[in-house]
Amino acid sequence: MSVYDEIGGEAAMNAAVDVFYRKVLKDDRIKHFFDGVDMARQAAKQKAFLTMALGGPNNYTGEDMRKGHAHLVARGLNDSHFDAVMENLGATLKELNVPGHLIAQAAAIAESTRKDVLGK
């Protein structure tokens, strides 16, 4: 059973994405990357990301991650920003009372996308 199923699947994701995206938009280190984006569309993408990190259904490839973030890499997206997102992910899951070992599992999946997201 994946973390995704364990914490309540799709329904839990809707609550999680609100908490997560709110943290991201309040984070001075990364919020400027979201200036001018369509928030509703962006929230759907954040939900897809969370679902993937929690081992839920997804078909993202490394290539998708690379293409999807290339314009942000051109604007200076680097490891420090990726770290900030990882921190917000951990804090979100903690706030939703996800047990520590499952948070670690989710962090490992998210971490595995670092190279592609940063275009390395």
Binding site for another protein (CB under 8 A): 10, 14, 17-18, 21-22, 25-26, 39-41, 43-45, 47-48, 51, 57-60, 64, 68
**Residue found by looking up tokens 């962090």 in the block:** 107
Residue among 44, 37, 55 at smallest CA distance from 103: 55
Side-chain-facing half-sphere of 3: CA atoms under 13 Å: 24
Q: How far is the CB of 1 from another protein (least distance, A)?
A: 18
24/93 with CB nearer another protein = 24
Distance from C-alpha of 59 to C-alpha of 39, rounded to nearest angstrom: 23
27/98 with CB nearer another protein = 27
49/82 with CB nearer another protein = 49
